[in-house]
Structure 1
Amino acid sequence: MQTTCRQHADNLPRPESSVYQNARARQDISRVSREELEDRFLRLHEETLLLKQTIHQQDDKIKKLGTKLMRFGEDRRRMEQLAAGWRSSLCPRVS
C-alpha cells in the first residue's frame, strides 16, 4: 500500500492542535482582565465541584447496585438449594 503526500500531511501537527491552543491560551492570559480570569476560575471551580458531586452520587449508586446484585445471587443460591431439597424429599432414593 502506497502512502501519499496527503497522508503524511494529515499526520503533521496543525496550528489548531491542543499544543498550539495551550500556547495561545498562555499568551492570551496576559491580555485578559483580572475580573474575567476570576470569573473563569470560579466557573471552572463550580464545574469541578459539580463533577465531584456527580461522581460521589454515581459511586454510591454503584455500591448499592453491587450490594443488590450480591443479594440476588445469594437468594438464587438459596432457592436452588431449597428446590433441590424439595425435589429430593419428593423422590427419595431407592437403595
Structure 2
Amino acid sequence: MSRLSPINQARWARFRSNRRGYWSLWIFLAAFALSLAANLIANDRPLLVRYEGRLYVPFMVNYSETTFGGELNTTTDFQDPFVIKQIEQHGWAIWAPIRF
C-alpha cells in the first residue's frame, strides 16, 4: 500500500526517469548528512574525555578549565599543553579523525 496519491506517484516516477536529477538528489542528501556530522569528523576538541573517572563530551558542551585541573574558570583550550598533560595523566581522550 502506497502512501502517495496517484498524481504524486506519477510525479515521482517522472522524476526518477530523469537520471541526472535523481542522482543529484541522492548526492545532495549524502552531502547534507555528512555536513550534519562535521563535528565528529573534524574538530579541535575531543569527542569524549574520561578524566578522574568521569566522562565528558567537550565537542557538545563547554567545560571550564578547572574541570581538567586548571586554575582559570574559562572555557578549556584543549590545545594547551598543560590540559593535554592533565588528561593524559588522569584519563584519556578520543579525538576526531581530523584534529586541528
TM range (shorter): 0.3 to 0.5
Rg (Cα) greater in structure: 1
Under a length normalisation based on structure 1, what TM-score does the superposition of the two structures give?
0.37
